[in-house]
Amino acid sequence: MGVLTQGLALASWQENGNPICTTPPAQIAPVIASDGAGGALIAWEDQSSSGKNSYVYAQRVDAFGDILWTADGLRICAAAYEQKAPAIISDGAGGAIVCWEDYRRIPSDIYAQRVDPFGNLSWSPIGIAICEAGGYQYGPEVASDGAGGAIITWRDRRSGTDFDIYAQRVDASGNVLWAADGVAICTAAGNQYSPQIDSDGAGGAIVTWEDKRSGSHYDIYVRRVDASGNLLWAADGVAICTAEGGQFAPQIVPHGGGAVITWFDRRKGSEDDIYAQRVDASGNLLWVADGAAICTAAGNQRDPQLASDGLGTCIITWRDRRTGGSYDIYAQRVDALGFVRWAADVGICTTSADQREPYIVPDEAGGAIVTWSAYSNGSDGDIYAQRVSVSGDILWRADGVVICAAAADQRAPQIVSDDEGGAIIAWSDSRSGSDYDIYAQRVRADGTDLAFASVSAIGTHGYVKLSWEMGLEARASSFRIERSESPDGEFCVLELPVASGSGHSFSCTDYSVLPGKTYWYRILLVSSSSEEAYGPIEVYVERVPNAYTLHQNYPNPFNPLCTIRYETPQAGRVSLRVFDATGCLVRTLVDVHREPGSYSELWDGRAEDGRELPSGVYFYRLEAGDFVAMRKMVLLR
Which amino acid, one-letter code, is at 637? R
DSSP 8-state assignment for residue 394? B
- Please tell me whether residues 567 and 605 are part of one structural domain: yes
- Please tell me whether residues 533 and 557 are part of one structural domain: no
Instruction: Please enumerate in sequence order all residues whose Cβ is within 8 A of that of 230, keeping only pairs 6 or more positions apart, or say none.
Output: none
Residue 569 resides in a domain: yes
- Please tell me whether residues 563 and 533 are part of one structural domain: no
Distance CA(243)–CA(217), nearest Å, equals 9
- Please tell me whether residues 526 and 594 are part of one structural domain: no
**pLDDT the model gives residue 461:** 64
| CATH number of the domain bearing residue 519 | 2.60.40.10
Is residue 43 within 8 A of residue 35, CB to CB? The reply is: no
**pLDDT the model gives residue 534:** 81
Is residue 91 within 8 A of residue 99, CB to CB? The reply is: no
| Domain C-terminal end among 506, 540, 574 | 540
Residue 58 resides in a domain: no
- Please tell me whether residues 525 and 561 are part of one structural domain: no
Residue 631 resides in a domain: yes
Task: Give the chain's domain count.
Answer: 2
Please provide the DSSP assignment of 550-567 as one string.
Answer: EPPPBSSSBSS-EEEEEE
Reading phi first (left if > 0) and then psi (alpha if -120 to 50, else beta), residue 177 is in alpha
- Please tell me whether residues 501 and 520 are part of one structural domain: yes
Residue 510 resides in a domain: yes
Instruction: Using DSSP bridges, classify how beta strands 128-131 and 137-144 pair: parallel, antiparallel or unpaired.
Output: unpaired
Q: What's phi and psi for 541, nearest 5 deg?
A: -100, 125
SS3 assignment, position 116:
coil
Classify residue 260 by burial, with Cβ atoms within 10 Å: 0-12, 13-18, 19+. buried
- Please tell me whether residues 535 and 557 are part of one structural domain: no
**pLDDT the model gives residue 487:** 83
Residue 503 resides in a domain: yes
Q: Mean pLDDT, 10 residues at a time, over the chain (637 residues)?
A: 34 82 95 96 88 91 90 95 97 98 95 98 98 97 98 97 98 98 98 98 98 96 98 98 97 96 95 98 98 98 94 94 96 97 98 96 96 91 97 95 94 96 97 93 83 77 84 78 92 93 88 91 78 83 82 92 89 95 95 84 92 95 95 93
**613 to each of 346, 575, 634, how far by Cα in Å?**
61, 21, 11
Mean pLDDT across the chain: 92
**pLDDT the model gives residue 11:** 46
Residue 12 resides in a domain: no
Instruction: Please enumerate in sequence order all residues whose Cβ is within 8 A of that of 39, keeping only pairs 6 or more positions apart, or say none.
Output: 60, 61, 62, 63, 68, 418, 424
Residue 599 resides in a domain: yes
End-to-end, the C-alpha distance of the chain in Å comes to: 36
> Which helix (H) or strand (E) covers residue 87, if one does?
strand 83-90
| Domain C-terminal end among 521, 540, 559 | 540
Residue 164 resides in a domain: no
- Please tell me whether residues 593 and 522 are part of one structural domain: no
- Please tell me whether residues 523 and 563 are part of one structural domain: no
- Please tell me whether residues 627 and 557 are part of one structural domain: yes
**pLDDT the model gives residue 428:** 98
| Domain C-terminal end among 484, 507, 540 | 540
Which amino acid, one-letter code, is at 263? W
- Please tell me whether residues 471 and 493 are part of one structural domain: yes
| CATH number of the domain bearing residue 557 | 2.60.40.1930
- Please tell me whether residues 488 and 515 are part of one structural domain: yes
**pLDDT the model gives residue 370:** 99
Distance CA(487)–CA(320), nearest Å, equals 52
Is residue 490 within 8 A of residue 595, CB to CB? The reply is: no
Query: Could you tell me the residue range of the domain that residue 581 belongs to?
Result: 549-635
